[in-house]
Amino acid sequence: MRIIRSIKVMQDYSGAEKNKGKKIGFVPTMGALHQGHLSLIRQARKENDLVVVSIFVNPTQFGPKEDFKKYPRNLQKDALLCKKNGVDIIFSPSSKQMYPSGYKTYVNVQDLSCGLCARSRPGHFQGVTTVVTKLFNIVSPTNAYFGHKDAQQAAIINRMALDLNLPVKVRVSPTIREKDGLAFSSRNLYLSQQERKEAVVLSESLKLARELIKAGEKKSAVIVAAMRKLITAGRSAKIDYICIVDAKTLKPVPAIPGKCLIALAVWIGKTRLIDNLVVSRKF
Amino acid sequence: MRIIRSIKVMQDYSGAEKNKGKKIGFVPTMGALHQGHLSLIRQARKENDLVVVSIFVNPTQFGPKEDFKKYPRNLQKDALLCKKNGVDIIFSPSSKQMYPSGYKTYVNVQDLSCGLCARSRPGHFQGVTTVVTKLFNIVSPTNAYFGHKDAQQAAIINRMALDLNLPVKVRVSPTIREKDGLAFSSRNLYLSQQERKEAVVLSESLKLARELIKAGEKKSAVIVAAMRKLITAGRSAKIDYICIVDAKTLKPVPAIPGKCLIALAVWIGKTRLIDNLVVSRKF
C-alpha cells in the first residue's frame, strides 16, 4: 500500500492506470475509519482492480462554529485498517494543496441542498459536492462508494454525478450499525460512556417509526411526534430535526407514500449525530 | 468526420480513444462558426490526435430577455467548415439531453463572475462554467481551446480548471479580427450594413487606448473617457461598459499597472458586441 500526498502524483497515477484499462474503486473519507468505511472498502475491493481511499478532513464542509479542528485525525491507525482491508492507495492531500490561495470555484446542487441537514449546516453540502468533484477529477474512479447513513449527501452526489455527466458510477451502500443499533460514525468517538448509551435513541426512534407504519399509521406528524417523545425522554438528547421526506426529491411528505426516508439529527451532549431509515408501507 | 448527437456515445467514444493513448483536442462552440473558431480548430488539429468540436447553443448562459431563440444555427454549414479544417467529431447534443427534467447542478466561479459582462448578463458565467464542466466530462479532452475575445470567460475557465483539478489543459488563443479590426463573432451576423461599418468603433477605441498609454497616460479614468467619447460619436453605438482591470483578477485598476485588460461591451443597434485588449506600459 502506498500513501500519496501530492495531487499531481495521484492524478498521473490514476490516469495511467485508467489508460491500462484498470477499474478504480474509490472510497472518499475524512479518516477516523470505522466499520461503515471498511464495508465500503471491502465492496470496492471486490468490484475493482485498484482501491483508492482518500483521507481528507475537508474544511469547506464545516461551518465556522463546527468541529473542523477537533475532528479525529489518526492517519497511522487508518493506514493500518486500509492495509488490512486490501487498499492499494491512500490519497491524503493537504488543505493548502486542495484549496490554494485564490481558490474560487464551487459546485452546487440546488433544492436537494436545502432542508434536513442543510438547515443547521448552511454551506455544508456545497463543501461536499465541491470536494467530491475535485476528488473525482484527481482519482478518476470507475466506481465511487458512499454510505447511506448520509442519505442526503448520497442523494445530492447521485444528482450531481448525473447532472455533470461525471464518468463515475456512484454506489450507495447500507448503513452499518453497532450491535445495539447505533450507526457507525467517526463522531461517535466524541461520546462519553453515558452519552454512548443514550445515543442508541436515534436508531430506537427509527425502529419505533417503522413499527407505527407497519401498524398502519400514515400521518407523518403522528410518527414524528412519537419519535420526538421517545428521544426527549432521555437526559442529554436535543433534537435538531426529524423529517419524513420523499426518498428521491427529499421534499417533506405529510403522509407516508409508497417509499420514503425518515431522517433525523440529534445532539447528544455536544455531539450532533444523524441517522435515517428508508421505509415503505409494504415491508 | 462523424456527427455525434448522444452524450453516451460521445462519452464512450472519447473514453475509449483516451484509453488508447490518443490526445483529444476540443473546441467548444455554439456553432455559427467564424474565422475565430477555425483558428482554434486548426491549432487543435496541430496539437492533438483527434479533434472534437461541440456545437451546442447552451440555454443556461442566456438571460430570459437575451437572444437564445434567434441565435444563428446552421449545422450544415458548420459541418462543412469543420470537415474542411480536419475535425474528426462534431458533438451536437439536444438541450433535453444536456439538461434533463430535474436538473439541479451548477458550477460557480466566485468574484471573477462579477463585474464586466456579468453586470448586464447575470447568471451568464454560471451557465458557461456549468456547460463547460459537463462538456469536459463528456469529451475528456487533453487540450481545450478558447478565444481571447471572451477574456472574462477565458479567465473564469482557467480558474475553474485549476480549482476543480480538471485533467484538461486550457489553451487561450488571440482574438481573430476582420481587416478593419472588428473581432470575429457569431453575433456580427445580426448587424445591418450600416451597423457593420459602425461596429469598427469597438476596436478603434481599444487602439486609441493603446496609443494613449503609449504616450504616457496612466489614469484609467482619462483613458475610459476618451474611449467613451470616440464610441458615442457614432450614430447607433451605446456603451454597456468600458473597464480597465487586472488581467488575472479582473479587478478594476485606477492606474495602468504593468499589465492590464481593457474590456468593453457596446450595443450596436440591437446587437451587443464585446472586445478587449491586453496592454502593458511597455509595448
> Which chain B residues contact residue A132 at CB under 8 A?
none
Q: What is the pTM of this model?
A: 0.94
H or E element at residue A177: none
Torsion of CA A179, A185, A188, A189, to 10 degrees: 110
φ, ψ of residue B259 in degrees (nearest 5):
-145, 130
Q: Which of A239, A267, A61 lies closest to A153 in space, CA to CA? A: A61
- Whether the predicted pLDDT of B283 surpasses 60: no
> Which chain B residues contact residue A110 at CB under 8 A?
104-106
**Domain extents in chain A:** 2-173, 186-274
What is residue B282's predicted lDDT score, i.e. its pLDDT?
63
Number of Cβ within 10 Å of residue B100's Cβ equals 11
- Whether the predicted pLDDT of B177 surpasses 80: yes
Q: pLDDT class for B204, splitting at 50, 70, 90?
A: very high
Number of Cβ within 10 Å of residue B75's Cβ equals 13
- Whether the predicted pLDDT of B231 surpasses 80: yes
Q: pLDDT class for B2, splitting at 50, 70, 90?
A: very high
- Whether the CB-CB separation of B30 and B62 falls below 8 Å is answered with no
What is residue B267's predicted lDDT score, i.e. its pLDDT?
95
What is residue B234's predicted lDDT score, i.e. its pLDDT?
79
Nearest Cα of chain A lies from the Cα of B180 at a distance, in angstroms, of: 38
DSSP 3-state assignment of B86?
coil
Q: pLDDT class for B22, splitting at 50, 70, 90?
A: very high
Q: Is A37 a catalytic residue?
A: yes
Question: Is there a contact between A108 and B106 if contact means CB atoms under 8 Å apart?
Answer: yes
H or E element at residue B108: strand B105-109
Cα B268 off chain centre by: 19
Residues of A in CB contact (< 8 Å) with B are 7, 11, 15, 18-19, 21, 102-112, 129-130, 133-134, 137-138, 140, 159-160, 163-167
Residues of chain A with pLDDT under 70: 281-283
Q: Which residues contact A90 (CB under 8 A, 6 or more apart)?
A: A1, A2, A3, A4, A52, A53, A54, A55, A75, A78, A79, A82
- Please give the grid coordinates belonging to residue A105: 470555484
Q: Which of B109, B4, B166, B102 lies closest to A166 in space, CA to CA? A: B166
Residue B280 vs residue B244, higher pLDDT: B244
- Starting at the edge strand found earlier in the chain, the sheet holding B271-280 runs B237-246, B259-268, B271-280
Q: Which residue of A has its CA nearest to B162?
A: A103
DSSP readout, B145-197?
Answer: EEETTSHHHHHHHHHHHHHTT-S-EEEEEPPPB-TTSPBP-GGGGG--HHHHH
CATH of domain B186-274: 3.30.1300.10
Angstrom CA distances, A194 to A179, A200, A266, A269, B265, stand at 17, 11, 16, 10, 66
d(CA B147, CA B97): 26
- Identical fold for domains A2-173 and A186-274, yes or no, is no
Residue B120 vs residue B53, higher pLDDT: B53
Q: Using CB atoms within 10 Å of the CB of residue B69, give its burial: 0 to 12 exposed, 13 to 18 middle, 19+ buried.
A: exposed
* Percent of chain B clearing pLDDT 70 (strictly above): 99
What is residue A257's predicted lDDT score, i.e. its pLDDT?
77
* pLDDT one-digit tens code per residue, B61-74: 999 999 999 999 99
Give the highest mean pLDDT range of B113-117, B235-239, B254-258.
Answer: B235-239
> Which chain B residues contact residue A165 at CB under 8 A?
7, 11, 134, 137-138
Question: Is there a contact between B167 and A21 if contact means CB atoms under 8 Å apart?
Answer: no
Q: Which residue of A has its CA nearest to B19?
A: A19
Nearest Cα of chain B lies from the Cα of A150 at a distance, in angstroms, of: 19
Please tell me the least confidently modeled range out of A178-187, A228-237, B44-53, B78-87: A228-237
d(CA B206, CA B186): 20
What is residue A282's predicted lDDT score, i.e. its pLDDT?
63
Q: pLDDT class for B8, splitting at 50, 70, 90?
A: very high
Q: What is the ipTM of this complex?
A: 0.92
Question: Is there a contact between B107 and A104 if contact means CB atoms under 8 Å apart?
Answer: no
Mean pLDDT of chain B, nearest integer: 94
Question: Is there a contact between A105 and B104 if contact means CB atoms under 8 Å apart?
Answer: no
Q: Which of B37, B29, B274 lies closest to B261 in space, CA to CA? A: B274
Would you identify the CATH topology of the domain B2-173? Rossmann fold (3.40.50)
